[in-house]
Structure 1
Amino acid sequence: MQLVYVFDAYCGWSHGFSSTMRTITARHPGLPVEVVSGGLFTGSRRVPIRKFGYVQGANAQISELTGAHFGDAYQDLVAEGSFVMDSEAAARGLAALRQASPPRAAELAAAMQNAFYVDGLSLSDPETYRAIAAEARLDADAVVAAFHSGQAAAEKDFERSARLGVSGFPTLLAVNGTDTVVLASGHATADQVEHHLVTLV
């Protein structure tokens, strides 16, 4: 059995779910975790952040429920309004980091969200991945090169998310052969996930 975590790096609820993922992976260090990008902001949804008027209210709710932190640099991006969230670029970034260290995929996904939601860094900028890779002691040059060439990997993630039937982010699945069980969809605490997981492990 493995866990499949379908998230979007530009999804605030996925940012809030990072602490749950940290706890679950710490409790089950031998359980493989695959991280898949879902593709929330693609195509016509790639527009300036000011078009999403609900962002600040949603972030306040996320903070209240999960304790997730939204940094001043990110808040400045929201206030200025012109920043465009591009999930295809973020998916290329995840794929590049994941390729560099597959067992650390969940940790690296959280680092991406921290880069955006705390430090206000663009997930379309290759230098963001250079910094994440360096912090994680990965080969930063290889990660940046994989980011630039990662379009096929991003599309593969989006297709996998669709095949799994995921319609919202974050979604955490337990997959065992052809059997798939939803452990969490949207907000869930680690204990709530654990309640479902212990019946399967």
Structure 2
Amino acid sequence: MKNNELSLIYVWDAYCGWCYGFSKSLRTFHQNHLELPIQVLSAGLFVGDQSQSIAAYPHIPEANKRIGQLTGAVFGSSYDKLLNEGTFIMDSETAAIGFSALRSLAPEQVVYLAAAMQRAFYYEGKSLSDLETYQEIAKQFDLDEQRLIERIKTPETLDEVKQEFLIAANLGARSYPTLFLKKEDGLYNLGGGAMIAEKLEEKFAELI
């Protein structure tokens, strides 16, 4: 099969620690396969009744230790402070709105924009509900801050995000992160979690 008949779909959530751990593997695999178009979809992990304080999810500290051990991901001291205080509210809807706005301005940078958001939270301890966080990312990527803010604030972006959550759910990802390979005959799970880039390459070779 020709690679121009293939594409990738990555289902993630900005407040998903395993997605943070998977970020390096994804970026490496993406760099090795720039010929494959990639679509990055927010899953909406912490929305509605699930959008609660970090303290409401007591498994997170232990999960972070495991993520760090298996992937080498580093959780920053500013994030650890948020974790210890326990009052920070994880709101995947506002994070997805911010991501959608960033993505609309630089779709070719989508993998790196997602990584920048997760670094902002998991390393720098910044809220993904704050405009300032996105303005700082916009500066990093030389994006138009005013256009970004307009995109974040427009009601249409929220509508798009809610539709995106439904699309992501209907893809059949049982956990996050999940990287799919899209072929003419359907979707195939390439992997996620703690998979290193080499393992993604092996699975990719099997599937094509």
How does the TM-score come out when normalised to structure 1? 0.96
Distance in 1 separating the partners of 2:192 and 2:123: 23
Q: Which residue of 2 aligns with 1:147?
A: 152
Q: Which residue of 2 aligns with 1:167?
A: 174
Give the secondary structure class of the aligned counterpart of 1:31: coil
Distance in 2 separating the partners of 1:48 and 1:200: 40
Distance in 2 separating the partners of 1:142 and 1:156: 22
Question: Which sits farther off after the overlay, 27-36 or 61-70?
Answer: 27-36
Give the secondary structure class of the aligned counterpart of 1:198: helix
Aligned pair partner of 1:63 in 45, 63, 68: 68
The alpha carbon displacement at 1:165 in A equals 1.1
The superposition leaves residues 119-156 of structure 1 with CA deviations (integer Å, 9 ceiling, x where unpaired) of 11100111111110111111121112211222112112
Whether contact under 8 Å (1:11, 1:169) holds in the other structure is: yes
Distance in 1 separating the partners of 2:134 and 2:185: 34
Aligned pair partner of 2:164 in 157, 162, 176: 157
Q: How does 1:1-201 map to 2 (within 5 A)?
A: 1-149=6-154, 150-200=157-207
**Which amino acid in the other structure matches residue 84 of structure 2?**
A
User: Tell me, which stretches of 5 or more residues in structure 1 are unaligned?
Assistant: none
Whether contact under 8 Å (1:4, 1:33) holds in the other structure is: yes
User: Tell me, which stretches of 5 or more residues in structure 2 are unaligned?
Assistant: 1-5
Whether contact under 8 Å (1:38, 1:158) holds in the other structure is: yes
Give the secondary structure class of the aligned counterpart of 1:5: strand
The alpha carbon displacement at 1:200 in A equals 4.3
Question: Which sits farther off after the overlay, 165-174 or 141-150?
Answer: 141-150
**Which amino acid in the other structure matches residue 24 of structure 1?**
F
Whether contact under 8 Å (2:8, 2:37) holds in the other structure is: yes
Whether contact under 8 Å (2:21, 2:193) holds in the other structure is: no
Distance in 1 separating the partners of 2:194 and 2:160: 27
The superposition leaves residues 144-197 of structure 1 with CA deviations (integer Å, 9 ceiling, x where unpaired) of 221122211211210111121123100000112451000004221111111111
Residue identity (%): 41
**Which amino acid in the other structure matches residue 19 of structure 2?**
S
Distance in 2 separating the partners of 1:89 and 1:16: 21
**Which amino acid in the other structure matches residue 45 of structure 2?**
L
Whether contact under 8 Å (2:98, 2:128) holds in the other structure is: yes
Give the secondary structure class of the aligned counterpart of 2:14: coil
**Which amino acid in the other structure matches residue 60 of structure 1?**
K
How does the TM-score come out when normalised to structure 2? 0.93
**Which amino acid in the other structure matches residue 167 of structure 1?**
R
